[in-house]
Each structure stands twice: as C-alpha cells, then as structure tokens.
Amino acid sequence: MERILSGIKPTGELTLGNYIGALRHFKDFQNRGDVYIFIADLHALTMPIEAETLRNNSRDIAAFYLASGLDPKRCTIFLQHTVPAHAELNAILQNYLYMGELKRMTQFKDKCSKMNDNQIGLGIFAYPVLMAADILLYDATIVPVGEDQVQHVEITRDLVHRFNSRYGEVLVLPRAEVTKVGARIMSLCDPSKKMSKSDPKGDIFLKDPLSVSRKKIMSAVTDSGSEVRFDPAAKPGISNLLTIYAALKDITPQEAEKRFAKFRYGDFKKAVAEAVEEELGPFKARYEKIIADRSYISVLRDGAKKASLVAAKTLRRVQKAVGLLSVDE
Ligand code: AQP
C-alpha cells in the first residue's frame, strides 16, 4: 500500500496555485493509499512572519484541507509542530546532508538572493533537512509536489541512499509526484513568475470574493496578438490562463486551446473566470462553514496523536541504527 504525504506552509494566504497544484488533488489520494497531510508550520518560520499571521494562516489551511474533501476518517491531518519527532529526526538527519548540496537548492538561492549572511536564518538553509524528516518519518512512498519542490524530494532520495548504504535498509525511498496540468501556475501580473503566497502580486487568493477573482482574471496580463494559443514561451500570459482552465476542467492545455481557438481574449478570459468561480464557489462555501464551526481543532488534535504513533516508530528505528542508546528496556 502506498504512503502518501503532502503539506502546505502557512506563510501567507493560499492562492489558486496552491489549489490547482496541491489542494485539489488531496481527496483523490485517499483512494490510492494511506494519506498524511500536514500544515508545515515549522517551515513557515524559516522566513520572517508575525505570530498572529502564522496562527491565522494555520487555521485557514486546516479549514481548506477539510473543504477540499479530505476526510479525517480516511487520512491523518496534523500540524507539523505537534509531532515532536519532526524536530528530533531533523536533529539526526542534519548530519547526513552537506553544506555544498544545501547551498545549491533553488529555493534557498531564490529566497536569499537579496539577503546577506547576517539576515539568512539557519532554518531556510537547512529547509531540505526538515523536509526530509517530514517525508521519512511516515515511510512515505509518494510525495505529491509542485515543480518547485521536486528538488527537495530528490535530495531526500540522495539522503536515503547515503543513510541506507551505511546503516542498512532503515529509511524508505520516496518519489515525487508532480501534478500533470498546473504544476506551476504563474502570476497574473507577470507570467514569468510563479504565483506564490509570499509574493502576492498577481495572485488569486482562495479567500478573495468571487467578484475580485473575476476582476483579476479579466485584467490579467496577456500577450501581443489576438490568438488564444498554448505556447508558454511566446505567449506566457495566455498559456497560463489556458493552463488554469485546463487544470480546473481536467483536460490538457492543448484541448483547452482547441475549445477557445475562435475566441477573442476578452471572451476567453470570461470563460476562465467562470471556470474559477464554478470551482471555487462551492469550495469557499465549505471553507466558511468549517472556519466558523471550528471543527478543524479536534481534527488536528486527533491527527497529532495518530501521526505521533507512526512517527515515533520510525524515529526509534533511526535512533537505533545510528547508535543512540535506548533506555526503554
Ligand atoms: N503557483 C503554483 N502552481 C502550482 N502549484 C503550486 N504550489 C505552490 N504554488 C504553486 C504547490 O502548493 C503546495 C504548497 O506549497 P508550499 O506552501 O509548501 O510551498 P511553495 O511551493 O513554496 O508555495 P508558495 O505558495 O510559493 O509558498 P511561499 O511563497 O511561501 O514559498 C506545494 O505542493 C506547491 O508545489
């Protein structure tokens, strides 16, 4: 049986990119294996964030998880910090990844390119170590991610090979699974940049009123010419909108292109806005109900207990392998 693990960092308000690249697929994982979905709150601390913002974002993600169709009876939903084994395994694994490889991580380079060494926390540098701990604690075989996180799953795989060749088959080798359509939704203002919650220009937020997301789509940057064609290099703006539409309708961007071949930009944008409204309308309604009744709190509490049992077993296996003396028996 597959073990599937995924999570979202509560670094900002969730975007349509997070929805298309991650949230939208979560419920289907429940038909494919044993699912662990967490709120990566320790990861969110790797860049400056206000305490109240972090708390609110974490609540929102919990409610969005439930609104996405995740069923706490069929999966485990939890906050990362409520399972101490994440930090404990991190303390061990940090000795098996090296400065040279961490320095080469694209996320680290992107996030820290404009900072000097006295502004860069150790956490953002060592981010892949904690992410490896997140994955390995649950013996995850599949890690669904957007394109940007594939590199971190790859470094986790390197770590597993390194660790297991020294200590035997202790850690389970995970593999990244990238969303087929929509693994990298771009900003509506600048389609050369990813739509990111920590860089809100050109984002559609899941909490935006539908009229606001419609306006944002209608004023999205397009390309010269008037043809609706899927060509990310020559027509990045239109291609991004085609990708959004295709992802929401479960078709390919090429099929979407055919559907809109005779459309003008304005009518095409209207159709994309409608597709977003149709999908996000009911989703947002479910979120509003969950955030109001606070049902997510008990889900997170139960999730922490369930996740801790599994994580503690893996941690013990690793501690034993590296030679940490047990006093349990
Ligand atoms: N633009 C995107 N298109 C498709 N998928 C996306 N994801 C994020 N942005 C897009 C996917 O959402 C999940 C949660 O991501 P995360 O919070 O763990 O980290 P991230 O990829 O760094 O997301 P952000 O929104 O860009 O966060 P910040 O701004 O804090 O760095 C992942 O599956 C991710 O791939």
Instruction: Tell me the per-residue pLDDT of 98-111, one tens digit each, with 9 for 90 and over.
Output: 999 999 999 999 98
Mean pLDDT of 33-54: 97
Q: Are residues 59 and 109 in the same domain?
A: yes
| pLDDT tops 80 at residue 156 | yes
| Distance (Å, whole) CA 44 – CA 51 | 11
Using a 6 Å cutoff on CB, does residue 131 contact ligand 1? no
Task: Inform me whether the pLDDT recorded for 314 exceeds 90.
Answer: yes
Please compute the mean of the pLDDT values over residues 148-166 and round it to a whole number.
Answer: 96
For 83, residues 6+ apart whose C-beta sits below 8 A from its C-beta are 38, 137, 304, 307, 308, 311
Identify whether residues 130 and 238 lie together within a single domain: no
Active site residues: 111, 194, 197
Q: How confident is the model at residue 62 (pLDDT cuts 50, 70, 90)?
A: very high
- Collect all residues with Cβ–Cβ distance below 8 Å to 297 and sequence separation of at least 6: none
267 falls in which pLDDT band (50, 70, 90)? very high
Nearest CA to ligand 1 atom 7: 18
Q: What percent of the chain has pLDDT over 70?
A: 100
Residue 252, domain member (yes or no): yes
- Is 112 touching ligand 1 by the criterion CB < 6 Å? no
8 Cβ closer than 6 Å to some ligand 1 atom: yes
The whole-angstrom separation of Cα 6 and Cα 143 is 6
179-230 residue pLDDT tens: 889 989 999 999 999 999 887 889 999 999 999 999 999 999 998 888 999 9
Residues 219, 260 within the same domain: yes
Q: Are residues 162 and 298 in the same domain?
A: yes
Better-predicted residue by pLDDT, 143 or 223: 143
Q: Is residue 278 within 8 Å of 305, Cβ to Cβ?
A: no
Question: What is the Å distance from ligand 1's center to 22 Cα?
Answer: 8
Name the residue range of residue 234's domain. 210-290
Output the pLDDT for position 61: 98
Total of domains in the chain? 2
What's the pTM? 0.95
Q: How far is the CA of 24 from the centre of ligand 1 (A)?
A: 13
pLDDT average, residue stretch 36-61: 97
- Domain co-membership, 49 together with 172: yes
Q: What's the confidence (pLDDT) of residue 114?
A: 83
Say if residue 35 is in the same domain as residue 66. Answer: yes
Q: What is the pLDDT of residue 96?
A: 98
Burial of 102 (0-12, 13-18, 19+ CB in 10 A): middle
Q: Which of 83-97, 145-159, 315-329 has the highest average model confidence (pLDDT)? A: 83-97
| The predicted structure's pLDDT at residue 178 | 92
**The residue type at 215:** K
Asked whether residue 51 is domain-assigned, the answer is yes
On whether both 102 and 34 belong to a single domain, the answer is: yes
Supply the CATH number for residue 148's domain: 3.40.50.620
Find out whether the beta carbon of 23 lies less than 6 Å from any atom of ligand 1: no
User: What pLDDT, on the 0 to 100 scale, is given for residue 199?
Assistant: 79
Handedness of CA 253, 254, 259, 264 (dihedral sign): positive
- For the sheet with 33-39, list strands across it: 75-79, 33-39, 2-8, 142-145, 175-178
Same domain? For 72 and 178 the reply is yes
Strands 2-8 and 75-79: unpaired
53 lines ligand 1 (CB under 6 A): no
Mutational test site, ligand 1, from 6, 8, 244, max ligand atoms within 8 Å of CB = 8
Residue 201 counted as domain residue: no
Residue 195 beta carbon below 6 angstroms from any ligand 1 atom: yes
Residue nearest to atom 5 of ligand 1 (CA): 21
Q: 257 C-alpha to center of ligand 1: Å?
A: 26
Q: What single DSSP character describes residue 149?
A: G
For residue 147, the model assigns a pLDDT of 85
Mark whether 304 and 234 lie in a shared domain: no
pLDDT digits (tens, 9 = 90+) for 128-137: 999 999 999 9
Q: Mark whether 154 and 280 lie in a shared domain.
A: no
- How far is Cα 314 from Cα 170, in angstroms, rounded to an integer? 9
Cα dihedral value 255, 257, 263, 269, nearest 10: 100
Instruction: Return the residue whose CA atom lies nearest to atom 28 of ligand 1.
Output: 198
What is the enclosing helix (H) or strand (E) of 100? helix 99-103
Domain assignment of residue 327, yes or no: no
What pLDDT was estimated at residue 26? 95
Tell me the H-state helices in 16-69.
Answer: 16-18, 24-29, 41-44, 51-67
Provide the 3-class DSSP secondary structure of residue 304.
helix
Reduce the DSSP state of residue 143 to 3 states and report it. Answer: strand
Residue 197 lies in a domain: no
**Mean pLDDT, all residues of the chain:** 95
Indicate if 84 and 97 belong to the same structural domain.
Answer: yes
Per-residue b or e along 25-58, where b marks 16 or more CB atoms closer than 10 Å to that residue's CB = bbbebbeebbbbbbbbbbbbbbbebeeeebeebb
Residue 329 has pLDDT above 80, yes or no: no
Please identify which residue in the block is written with the tokens 């490896």. 132
What pLDDT is stored for residue 175 in this prediction? 98
Interval 226-248 mean pLDDT: 96
- 149 within some domain: yes
Number of the ligand 1 atom closest to the C-alpha atom of 145 = 33
191 inside domain: no
Check which CATH number belongs to the domain holding 257 and give it: 1.10.240.10
Q: Is 183 in the pocket of ligand 1 (CB under 6 A)?
A: yes
Whether residue 231 sits in one domain with residue 114: no
Ligand 1 centre and the CA of 177: distance in Å? Answer: 14
Which atom of ligand 1 is nearest the CA belonging to 9? 17
**Which atom of ligand 1 is closest in space to residue 182's alpha carbon?**
4
- Give the CB-side neighbour count of residue 92, counting CA atoms within 13 A: 24
Going from the Cα of 265 to the center of ligand 1, the distance in angstroms, rounded, reads 28
- Of 4, 5, 6, 9, the residue with max ligand 1 atoms within 8 A of its CB, to mutate for a pocket test, comes to 9
Would you say the CB of residue 256 lies under 6 angstroms from ligand 1?
A: no
Cα(11) to ligand 1 centroid in Å equals: 10
23: which DSSP letter? I
Which pLDDT band holds residue 241 (cuts at 50, 70, 90)? very high
Identify whether 193 is part of a domain: no
